[in-house]
Amino acid sequence: MPNWASGAVSVTGRKDSALNFARRFIYEDAQRDLAKPYYFARSFAQDSWGETIEIINNLFDGVPAGTESKLNMDIEFAWSASSCLLFDNSNKIPGSITLSDACIEDNVSVEIKTEESDLGFIENITCGKDGSVTFQTQDMPVYVCPVCGSEYFIKSYMDISEFECMLCEKTGLISKEAD
């Protein structure tokens, strides 16, 4: 089993562009036609394809044709978003495409933030419509069990006050920098 980098992906583009881009992720409820479109390696959408179409339809409901909107997606990347999206994986994973090539083809700009809580890193990736990529990575903040001192990386959507220590089973963590 891989470690997972949980990604918040924002896609800015017209409706047809957003649909084309969204199709490149892997969905549990959709069979992939490897020939078309080229897809993102090891990048799993948390919403189903059916839900994603509904989200896009709602997002562009009443919006004049040709107007851009911002689509937000939750994507789980195996190992890291950078390894899935920025490297050319097409030798190992036929039919895969890089983020840069996809942004050019689909005419979208993209912002991605991920958190990987096993190794404890955060990725910030942007890609413009011209395919130009920026990539930064940083350490996740460390949280500590106040009872036994065990240390954890906690994804930002999780509540540290509800987190149960895996060693002593006490609930609630504190920031390591706080003491």
- Sites of contact with Zn ion (CB under 5 A): 145, 147-148, 150, 165, 167-168, 170
Q: What is the CA radius of gyration of the chain?
A: 18
**Cβ within 8 Å of residue 158, ≥6 positions away:** none
Shortest CB 179 distance to Zn ion, Å: 15
Q: For Zn ion, give the closer residue by CB, 63 or 167.
A: 167
CA-CA distance, 151 to 173, in Å (whole number)? 9
3-state secondary structure 45-63: ECCCHHHHHHHHHHHCCCC
Tell me, what amino acid is at 15?
A: K
Q: For Zn ion, give the closer residue by CB, 155 or 170.
A: 170
Shortest CB 151 distance to Zn ion, Å: 10
Q: For Zn ion, give the closer residue by CB, 70 or 176.
A: 176
Shortest CB 1 distance to Zn ion, Å: 25
